[in-house]
Amino acid sequence: MNDTSTDLIVHCHHLNKRYGEGATTVHALRDVDLDIRRGEFISLSGPSGSGKTTLLNHIGGLDQPNSGEVEVEGRRLSDLDKGELADLRLQKIGFVFQAYNLIPVLNAYENVEFILQLQGEHARTRRTRAHEMLAEVGLEGLGKRRPGQLSGGQQQRVAIARAMASQPAIVLADEPSANLDSVATDELLKLMSRLNRTHGMTFCVASHDPRVIDYSHRRVRMRDGRIEADEHA
């Protein structure tokens, strides 16, 4: 990978995050530095309470640090107002959550189209890209099914198709295999690995699942709010 500033998508500098006050204070992040470059497949691992989800939320602009900075493609999140931050998330960051977060009254095509509608894409472009993305994740022919008519693994694939459709700079996934059985997990990881390899899609995945960690190329291990290891496979 070309190690230049143009490849830098995320820059986290001296992040600190505390919750609570006094004796109940929890130090969720402690002086965390992390750079993520284009095309990486990174896992954030560690026990519950280690800070991996908190770090993911800070990268995605869903939470703000008490001190330190997060930059996404050169833009400091602390410099953005709420509208600008929402726009950056919409245009640059794809989210995949363990609960899928699909809209239950919309079918698979409509769920994928929804984010494109928010981006202001033309209806024909939305339809074409939704078809392409669902085919890419192996759900061609299931586009008219609503989330309740799909398996957990299929719903997670719709969530990935939705994240891909917006053509983000990075996809952030929080425990994406948590609600899946072993077969669905293996299929999901193969899909993410293929998208990373063939499309150069950048993934940062928070998970304690060793199978997720095994698929990642860069393994960041956290404990007590700190990064204790950052290794390449």
pLDDT digits (tens, 9 = 90+) for 183-220: 989 998 999 999 999 989 999 999 989 999 999 999 99
The reported pTM is: 0.91
For 46-77, write each residue's pLDDT tens digit: 999 999 999 999 999 999 999 999 999 999 99
Average pLDDT for the chain:
92
> 55-60 long-range CB contacts below 8 Å, 24 or more apart?
55/12, 55/15, 55/29, 55/206, 55/222, 56/172, 56/174, 56/204, 56/206, 58/12, 58/15, 58/17, 58/29, 59/10, 59/12, 59/93, 59/170, 59/172, 59/204, 60/89, 60/93, 60/95, 60/172
| pLDDT at position 3 over 80 | no
**Domains of the chain by start residue, with CATH:** 39-61+82-232 (3.40.50.300)
